[in-house]
């Protein structure tokens, strides 16, 4: 079916959705908990070593929130060299986003809003990049308008536009590389092939899982050239190789620090039940369009998953049947390879990399293009009933997206905060007390989570952290005393001492206990009772 420009009223609606999407990306940008991974973003871009922070903070002394948060802000004593040194210690995260963030916070400051605003600003460039990609792919603006509208009110992209991590940048450079490839094939000039080589290098310098996107590009070129060694395929491989050469310095960093690389990515090899993973895969798909905060195993989550699988299947079928092979050979591998590259290893070897929705970003781009093509085609159908039906479905989908973004924007935490999910509520409990003290140790992921919690604490709150196996000497002048996610050894030691009555607060599974000092007379009575 030949595409036409949407009517003016539809065009104005799409523009309104774009403006609404921009609003959602900035409203309440500092409200949500600054979670564990974002804490490490701030540590690294400001040149601080996590182990050094532990040495200074987990010293058994009572400290203030300001002493903790200084590790989250730029310091004149720490320059770009310090930040780069910290990044090299974590080769699993290539440096492009963090280098940009380092200079961004030097200009705009290291507050939560300022640090996150980099991702929000980058996300604005995603809109023209997506439109440009759709134009190169379909040689027509209509699909681009629908794709931009869908992405504008996508709760997933709104969430990650407000997170101090590299995922908005990864979306942008993936779109740029995709467009560069299509443009290089269309124009067949060396300038555009060089641009593609640079773009694919930027992809790898942003996120290592760009390997699956690169494979999808390779499949695309081989397919449209019918697996022949043509001028286009030769230039493609030369530009891809040049992109790999540009990335080789960081490959050297990975090989040189391979032990650290394996250690930092070991969590992806933790086995999870298939039922849990498959449920998450459905939620990944849902979150691109609808995210109303249903529980993981809610019947509504399964209903939406079923609907979107049917919708996506039909969109791919329509794309395959009604577009030239140079279009569907680009979109289908873009969806399939990044998704299968995560799912199959987890199925075959056991692991949980596919549990992270953010790792599927290239596939989401393909999904949204396929869905945008579906709606743009059906809404322009010559059949009145078909046109009205799909217009209503599009209105429902957009309404669900707007509702989702409204809910997401109003909350203090959401599913993407993962291991720091409860910190906002924990901080609220602590802040309501008069002279609180928070006690903890360096158990598991506590370093990042305690700094995350501190971002939400009032200045009146005091902190006391120790390194295992040391035990804290808890002063008596504080009331109440909170114990945050202690190691089993610390919790057992405090229970053995019997100086405190220990209760989980509140009784909803949060990793925080309340310690109430037991009076001297009560201790004496307990000892007398025990001895007798």
Q: What is the pLDDT of residue 368?
A: 98
Q: What is the pLDDT of residue 510?
A: 78
Q: Would you give the distance in Å from CA 300 to the centre of its chain?
A: 24
Q: What is the pLDDT of residue 153?
A: 98
| 169 plus 202 within the same structural domain | yes
The answer to whether residue 3 is domain-embedded is no
CB 360 within 8 A of CB 284: yes
CB 39 within 8 A of CB 73: no
| 206 plus 261 within the same structural domain | yes
| 434 plus 306 within the same structural domain | no
Backbone angles phi, psi at 257, to 5 degrees: -115, 40
Domains in the chain: how many in total? 2
Where the chain has pLDDT below 50, the residues are 522-523, 526, 528-532
| 372 plus 474 within the same structural domain | no
CB 318 within 8 A of CB 374: yes
The answer to whether residue 216 is domain-embedded is yes
Q: What is the pLDDT of residue 12?
A: 87
| 508 CB-side CA count, 13 A | 5
Of the candidates 378, 308, 389, the residue with the CA atom closest to the CA atom of residue 142: 378
Of the candidates 18, 17, 21, the residue with the CA atom closest to the CA atom of residue 120: 21
Which 8-state DSSP code applies to residue 505? S
Residue after which a domain boundary falls, among 417, 439, 470 = 417
Q: What is the pLDDT of residue 14?
A: 86
| 451 plus 514 within the same structural domain | yes
Q: What is the pLDDT of residue 476?
A: 85
Q: What is the dihedral of CA 107, 113, 115, 116, to 10 degrees?
A: -130
Range of 485's domain?
Answer: 418-531
pTM of the model as a whole = 0.95
| 411 plus 427 within the same structural domain | no
Q: How far apart, in whole angstroms, are the C-alpha atoms of residue 123 and residue 117?
A: 10
Helix ranges restricted to H, 323-443: 325-348, 361-378, 384-410, 423-431
Q: What is the pLDDT of residue 375?
A: 97
Of the candidates 410, 413, 415, the residue with the CA atom closest to the CA atom of residue 426: 413
Q: What is the pLDDT of residue 511?
A: 85
CB 282 within 8 A of CB 302: yes
Q: How far apart, in whole angstroms, are the C-alpha atoms of residue 146 and residue 404?
A: 18
| 397 plus 423 within the same structural domain | no
| 410 plus 437 within the same structural domain | no
Q: What is the pLDDT of residue 1?
A: 53
Q: How far apart, in whole angstroms, are the C-alpha atoms of residue 189 and residue 332?
A: 26
| 377 plus 270 within the same structural domain | yes
| 169 plus 235 within the same structural domain | yes
Q: What is the pLDDT of residue 6?
A: 66
Q: What is the pLDDT of residue 22?
A: 97
| 447 CB-side CA count, 13 A | 20
CB 100 within 8 A of CB 169: yes
């Amino acid at each position: 079916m030949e595409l036409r420009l949407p009517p003016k009223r539809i065009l104005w609606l799409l523009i309104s959705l774009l403006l609404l999407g921009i609003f959602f990306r900035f409203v309440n940008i500092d409200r949500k908990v600054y979670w564990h991974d974002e804490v490490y973003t701030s540590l690294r871009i400001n040149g601080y070593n996590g182990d050094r922070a532990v040495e200074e903070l987990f010293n058994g002394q009572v400290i203030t929130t300001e002493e903790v948060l200084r590790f989250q802000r730029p310091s004149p004593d720490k320059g770009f060299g310090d930040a780069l040194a910290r990044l090299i210690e974590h080769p699993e995260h290539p440096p492009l986003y963090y280098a940009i963030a380092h200079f961004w916070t030097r200009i705009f400051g290291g507050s939560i809003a300022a640090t996150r605003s980099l991702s929000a600003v980058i996300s604005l460039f995603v809109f023209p990049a997506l439109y440009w990609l759709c134009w190169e792919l379909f040689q027509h603006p209509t699909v681009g308008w629908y794709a931009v509208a869908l992405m504008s009110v996508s709760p997933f992209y709104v969430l990650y536009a407000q997170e101090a991590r590299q995922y908005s940048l990864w979306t942008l450079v993936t779109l740029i590389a995709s467009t560069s490839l299509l443009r290089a094939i269309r124009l067949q000039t060396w300038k555009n092939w060089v641009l593609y080589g640079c773009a694919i290098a930027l992809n790898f310098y942003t996120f290592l899982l760009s390997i699956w996107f690169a494979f999808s590009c390779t499949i695309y070129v081989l397919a449209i050239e019918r697996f022949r060694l043509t001028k286009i395929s030769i230039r493609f491989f030369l530009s891809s190789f040049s992109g790999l050469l540009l990335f080789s310095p960081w490959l050297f960093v990975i090989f040189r620090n391979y032990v650290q690389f394996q250690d930092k990515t070991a969590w992806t090899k933790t086995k999870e039940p298939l039922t849990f993973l498959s449920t998450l895969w459905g939620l990944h798909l849902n979150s691109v369009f609808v995210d109303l905060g249903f529980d993981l195993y809610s019947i509504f989550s399964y209903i939406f998953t079923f609907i979107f699988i049917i919708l996506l299947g039909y969109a791919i079928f329509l794309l395959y049947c009604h577009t030239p092979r140079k279009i569907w050979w680009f979109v289908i591998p873009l969806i399939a390879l990044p998704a299968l590259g995560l799912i199959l290893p987890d199925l075959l070897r056991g692991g949980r990399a596919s549990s992270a929705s953010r790792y599927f970003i290239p596939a989401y781009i393909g999904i949204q293009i396929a869905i945008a093509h579906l709606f743009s085609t059906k809404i322009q159908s010559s059949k009145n009933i078909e046109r009205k039906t799909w217009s209503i479905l599009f209105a429902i989908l957009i309404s669900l997206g707007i509702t989702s973004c409204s809910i997401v924007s109003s909350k203090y935490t959401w599913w993407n905060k993962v291991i720091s999910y409860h910190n906002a509520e924990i901080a609220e409990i602590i802040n309501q007390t008069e002279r609180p003290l928070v006690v903890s140790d360096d158990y598991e992921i506590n370093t990042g989570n305690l700094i995350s919690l501190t971002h939400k604490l009032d200045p009146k709150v005091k902190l006391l952290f120790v390194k295992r196996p040391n035990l804290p000497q808890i002063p008596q002048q504080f009331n109440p005393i909170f114990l945050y996610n202690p190691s089993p050894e610390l919790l057992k030691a405090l229970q053995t001492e019997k100086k405190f009555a220990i209760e989980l607060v509140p009784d909803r599974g949060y990793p925080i206990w309340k310690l109430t000092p037991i009076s001297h007379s009560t201790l004496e009575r307990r000892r007398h009772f025990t001895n007798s």
